[in-house]
Amino acid sequence: MAATTTFGPRREERHAHSENRATPGFLERLSETVGGALLGVGLLAVSFYVLFTNEGRAQRTAASLDEALSQVVLLHPPFVPELQTNNQLVHLSAPLRTTQPLFDPNYQVAVAAVKLRREVEMYQWVEYQDSRDYQEDGETRSETTYTYNTEWRSEVINSRNFDKEIGHLNPSAMAVESVTVVAPEVWVGGFSLSKGLLEKINNFQRLSLGSFPAAASDPFLTVHEDYFYHATNPRRPEVGDVRVSFSYAGLSGEGSYPGPAQVVTVVAMQRDNQLVSFRSTSGEQIEILYLEELSAQEVFEKEHRMNSMKTWALRAAGWALMFLGISLATRIVYTLVDWLPVVRDVVNVGLKLFALCVSSSLALLTIAAGWIFYRPLVAGALGALALVPFLVTRSRSRSHSPPKKHE
């Protein structure tokens, strides 16, 4: 969790360390490059796997969504289980309902919701380091600057690992632990939700603590700006002070604090009085929950858009891995000429262009291979497009070659 803004002045201390390092020789740089080349080959293999399997996954997901839309049964109020819809894919929109509020006995907080999360932070010393290398008297010098700030953090920071532990000691544990409580039973209409559907309810919102008085038995527990503080003065915290906040997801109360019940839309299979995942003929699991009221058509349009976004994101990631892998694998060429300033700059640009062209072509060919079993015509078009850089290069080399003399 990122550090949050603190009350009062922020304490900051700095100190620096310097050390000499010998400039790596040619053989040392060459051995590092060989290791990078092996890593590049590994990344190249991973990129092929990501790109190829992504196309199959995208096609299976799209086909499963179309199959589900053609089979889904629309349920209407009062949304009670019926025999004719048992073991069928159903769609319904209704408010969430739980059997009882979630309760935290330590702070007397009770909320009618699907999930209640207690987040604990402690005021601690945090070490930052900034290193830089520079040349001096023919040697490589390294200088590291250490900065120490006091901040609220949700994890315990081990001050024993600090470069300067004296004066920057943190407690070894928190007096209170963070925890997330989930309602044992959650209902939508007359159907209980499966564990997979409950995992999709994550619209956490901060709980306002204005109406929750601090426990009178603890003189160091105060409420300030939606936090319970275990501190003498929340505006000027000391190292070791603790603050606690609460957030909730999936309101299930009717007209109670902090608001009305959350309306959700569910597309899942009815199994008696429970909603569970539906398995399509291609083996994909359909278990959808949106935190808004949507028609069945709107649900599957959203799912198709998400599938498309995921597909393009994985394509971009696969191409990036391929580009990085080729760059690392060919880095050895740059190392061989890095002692020649002009030549190494030209080689560096050439290697980057080579990696860009080859990775783009190989990525298109891999994607085309993934489409062969689903859309052969599109695969052929992608394969032809992938060959364009090679055809252009070959045609240019022919145009620049000298004409043959006839005897």
- Position 249 scores a pLDDT of 96
pLDDT at residue 300, rounded to an integer:
97
Q: Check residue 64 and give its pLDDT.
A: 94
Pairing of strands 274-276, 191-193: parallel
| pLDDT on residue 133 | 74
**For residue range 311-339, what is the model confidence (pLDDT) as tens digits?**
999 999 999 999 998 888 887 776 666 65
What's the whole-number mean pLDDT along residues 56-68? 92
pTM here is 0.78
The 10 Å CB-count burial string (b at 16+, else e) for 266-277 is bbbbbbeeebbb
Give the pLDDT of residue 216.
44
pLDDT in tens, 146-188: 899 999 999 999 999 898 888 899 999 998 999 999 999 999 9
Most confident of 97-101, 116-120, 344-348, 377-381: 116-120
Reported as a pLDDT band with limits 50, 70 and 90, residue 122 is: very high
Confidence of residue 2 (pLDDT cuts 50, 70, 90): very low
- Domain residue spans of the chain: 22-61+307-399, 82-123+151-294
346, 63 contact by CB (below 8 A): no
**C-alpha span between 48 and 325 (Å, rounded):** 11
* Number of neighbours of residue 373 by Cβ within 10 angstroms: 11
**More reliable by pLDDT, 340 or 192:** 192
Looking at 271-387, list the stretches that DSSP marks H as alpha helix, in order from N- to C-terminal side. 296-329, 331-337, 341-371, 376-386
Kindly state the percentage of the chain with pLDDT values over 70.
Answer: 75
pLDDT(8) > 50: no
pLDDT at 247: 96
